Structure 1
């Protein structure tokens, strides 16, 4: 932004702050749906295509700011159970933990789960309920972003997104990671016989 714009710049900053406050602290009416809509582009996945949502710039900036501010809350909620919680050197820790498990005499098998298209198939209502309990600081913005269908536009058509996160949403990784924590905990308790 140019410093020479003075009043216009202050007005724009004020409107961005208002939008951010609406998304973070209150549950607005469905009238915000157009701000949540995305334009889709199809990336070649070979075979097939992966739809990537290109959302509103202000929404993306706010989402990245929320991630920056709430990073420690997300990391604490995810703990060591979910790499997409933003832990520092998370993948290295996962590699070392897996190697230790394989080398342990007490371990008979290691299960690696890779759910096909998991981000697109997670149940939004259950995910939002889990996040409300596990990480309240980001619950409201995720509820405002995902409680209703999101319109996705591609080649003049509208596709209602009813499940999962929007590919390209900066909050998608945190939402998915936190939403799966209760399942991971249940599997851990079941496997350890506790």
Structure 2
């Protein structure tokens, strides 16, 4: 599953010149993106201390002094930084955010300053590490007032299905099911919970493939 996240990813390309911020708790699946993105791409992984994460001023200084080029932030941390230090991202090449729905007003403020070259919305539950879908944010998205979840990563799937398991039409309401190489085996020691959340993939081309009900 790591290949879909790093070398085969279409939403970001890591290079030997990149300096990737490691701001995620190691227990958080976003850490896999930071660590393997930097190492597999031949770049440098720069670890941020906890006191840096809790201070917008220190985070701004950290990003500038360490010449960070790629970073992922949860929406909560991103919003805090935009509110108190909106110019902090000016040196970044790629900024990714995720974990919850984004406030378009914060993105509008970011784009009004000196935004990174690429701003990406990364969506994905831990059960399908790390991202299931991604979308490169544009000024047009901000004008429309909605940031799409985007498209599945390579060797990944995403379907919006109705209660009978059929795809919903464009604009319809349904539940998002995700799958692919990043999918977990299930919940340790919880077979009933696993069976309820991880279901057979009705669109699979190979036997045994499953989807996660988000």
Normalising by structure 1, we get a TM-score of: 0.24
Instruction: Specify the structure having the higher radius of gyration (Cα).
Output: 1
Higher helix share: 1
